[in-house]
Structure 1
């Protein structure tokens, strides 16, 4: 369900990025009380067309009775309809519709040593994770390794600097710039797998890190994932969220590679109500549901955000792309409805699990 939220503040954080804050009315405070690392799915009509996008919340998570702070980071994307609108037209007082915060790229505050490797706007959810953790858990430590093109393109510089000032000794920051030399710190260049494999053990005790959070473009996340694998890190300790994927990028393995069925019926449960519909040739299971249920959850339709995650109750599907679900999730029977096509004559999905 979408709720109208009024824009209360817009702050330019780089030449091509803004932070947008939404006012949360008292009756929706519990609905929009986010966990650190979650994101908002927003909806708005631009030029007569409904646009949905997913943006991570960068503000620390709150606890009652403190009201939630909904602040998201939006970076301009070439050809991006909503990001262009947000940077050039969106104004304080405007209303944007949003769903309740969702996402599994989260860290509930607990004692331990945690680390993140982020690139570009991948800092957005990690900023919420680190700020919430360090404020609530006095013994926790956090190491942030971030990669940006230049200092001028680095989002949330002041917020990250504030974490260093408020939590000396518990927050460690390492910055790499790919297109600019720094007066101090790492030499310029990309953080690829080989470089990270050598760098990470020099920065922190890799075997004793309790959780790794990788966020940013697909290339960086895959390189960091490979480095941690080379260093013997248990995959269960590695969490990742991908922000940008090229159209031809290889995805995680699909549920099956079998050909789609030419005639299938989909049964789906959503918000406690079930229905069944014939799947039209070539359409995804999400598109099948949307023909009758406009409230079906989705945002990117590209297999990245995970908003359309559903449990495969029965039948078999083929997923075209998967950049959102972990192997444990697909192994447990979850699929992305926007990327799934039926392989068997009967398929059943449950969006409520």
Structure 2
């Protein structure tokens, strides 16, 4: 069960004008709890003006060796979002020595290191989890290769430039880097412009043998991830080989279902080994109902993007307003996002422990 602990910030590194990397120290007694897979994220929490503000940020540091101890530190990248309550605080106020409330690692946008060729298409801050995935893979498996295709506005806005350059220096034969800038011409490399479906459909086969790629990792804004997924589908890549994580979705992108809700409904929940049944108020999501009765329910973004509130639907039926976190095989297996789920039957049962 995900839990929050207080971790101390040991370094705040400026990456670009609008982004920083935060390093968090993990004390010995918490290192097993913060053991993470490459690609997972952390939820950070602060209370401001009486409001509980939570945001998720991917871990960019390599995952610890499974045979060794848990991580002594964790590093995350934070990019300023216009009007963002947490990102503004992170860039303007957080300093070394501060204590932050940090949830234990979560997320399924991960790769278990294994031999083979892997590739990623990322945009902007989407580099963050992929940096951990690539660094962990190349360090652990000498038979693995990784191709990183990254899109940024300009060189000055590119996060983790030095860290990616270091991977290229350490693994020149196994790490391939392709950079595309949308608002700046490069002296060498690909011409500027956005990476959309049409461009990727032509570009990917020219860069690497698409059928031989064991896993594709798409991360960044919704438009880029959607375009890359469509390009791969058109190139015959099996859906099981494509993994997606979306960092930002415009409100207009959501397609909200209008299915009628029952006049009265209840939700029965199993959470951290304990159960309860409560009435769902009109207009509430199931997460909102649970939080009224169990403040320890897991959640972060409440926008259907991070997947922290994933739960198994034991009985009953729900509609999800939006879903940008669960893979098709997860929804087919019965998992839902509690923050986006509304009951369409009089009784619903969720299991957060499964």
Q: Equivalent residues in 2 for 1:163-174 (5 A)?
A: 163-174=167-178
Assess if the C-alpha contact under 8 Å between 2:246 and 2:324 holds in 1. yes
Distance in 2 between residues matched to 1:90 and 1:46, nearest whole Å: 14
**Aligned pairs for 1:239-254 within 5 A:** 239-250=243-254
User: Counterpart of 2:47?
Assistant: 45
Q: Note the C-alpha offset of 1:44.
A: 1.1
Counterpart position of 1:158: 162
- Measure how far apart 1:257 and its partner are: 5.7
Instruction: Work out whether 1:138 is the aligned partner of 2:139.
Output: no
1:330 corresponding residue in structure 2? 331
Q: Is the 8 A contact 1:61 1:69 kept in 2?
A: no
Answering whether residue 77 of structure 2 is matched by residue 73 of structure 1, we say yes
Match of 1:290 in 2: 291
1:187 has 2:182 as partner: no
> For the Cα contact (< 8 Å) 2:305–2:323, is it kept in 1?
yes
Separation in 2 of the partners of 1:80 and 1:264? Answer: 34
> Cα distance, 1:65 vs. partner?
2.9
1:269 aligns with 2:252: no
SS at match of 2:324: coil
Q: Give the distance between the partners of 1:204 and 1:46, measured in 2 at CA.
A: 48
Cα displacement string for residues 188-229 of structure 1 (whole angstroms, at most 9, x for unaligned residues): 000000000000000000001000000000000000000000
Distance 2:284 2:98 in 1: 35
1:1-353 matches, cutoff 5 A = 1-63=3-65, 64-65=68-69, 67-250=71-254, 258-353=259-354
Alpha-carbon displacement from aligned partner over 1:86-121 (angstroms, at most 9, x marks no partner): 000011111111111010000011101000000000
Inter-partner Cα distance in structure 2 for 1:218 and 1:316: 27
TM-score relative to the length of structure 1: 0.97
Q: CA RMSD in A?
A: 1.1
Q: Is the contact made by 2:63 and 2:71 (CA closer than 8 Å) also made in structure 1?
A: no
State whether residues 11 and 24 of structure 2, in contact with CA within 8 Å, keep that contact through their aligned partners in structure 1.
Answer: yes
- 1:114, 1:141 within 8 Å by CA — same for their partners in 2? yes
CA distance in structure 1 between the aligned counterparts of 2:258 and 2:51, rounded to whole angstroms: 34
2 CA distance for matches of 1:259 and 1:276?
A: 22
TM-score (norm 2): 0.97
Where in structure 2 are there 5+ consecutive unaligned residues? none
Structure 2 distance, partners of 1:152, 1:172, is: 21
Indicate conservation of the 8 Å contact 1:52/1:299, yes or no.
Answer: yes
Q: Describe the superposition over 1:51-79 as per-residue Cα deviations: whole angstroms up to 9, x where unpaired.
A: 10100000001122363431000000001
Aligned-pair distance for 1:318? 1.0
SS of residue in 1 equivalent to 2:166: helix
Do the aligned residues in 1 keep the contact of 2:32 with 2:70 (CA within 8 Å)?
Answer: no
Q: Secondary structure at the match of 1:248?
A: helix
Unaligned runs of at least 5 residues, structure 1: none
- C-alpha separation between the residues in 2 aligned to 1:319 and 1:250? 10
2-structure distance, mates of 1:213, 1:195: 18
Q: 1:262, CA displacement in angstroms?
A: 2.0
Task: Quote the Cα distance in structure 2 between the aligned partners of 1:352 and 1:41.
Answer: 18
Secondary structure at 2:87's aligned position in 1?
A: helix
Query: Could you tell me whether the CA contact under 8 Å between 1:260 and 1:317 is conserved in 2?
Result: no
Supply the distance in 1 between the matched residues of 2:157 and 2:69 (Cα, whole angstroms). Answer: 36
Task: Report the Cα offset of residue 33 of structure 1.
Answer: 1.1
Tell me the secondary structure at the aligned position of residue 291 of structure 1. Answer: helix
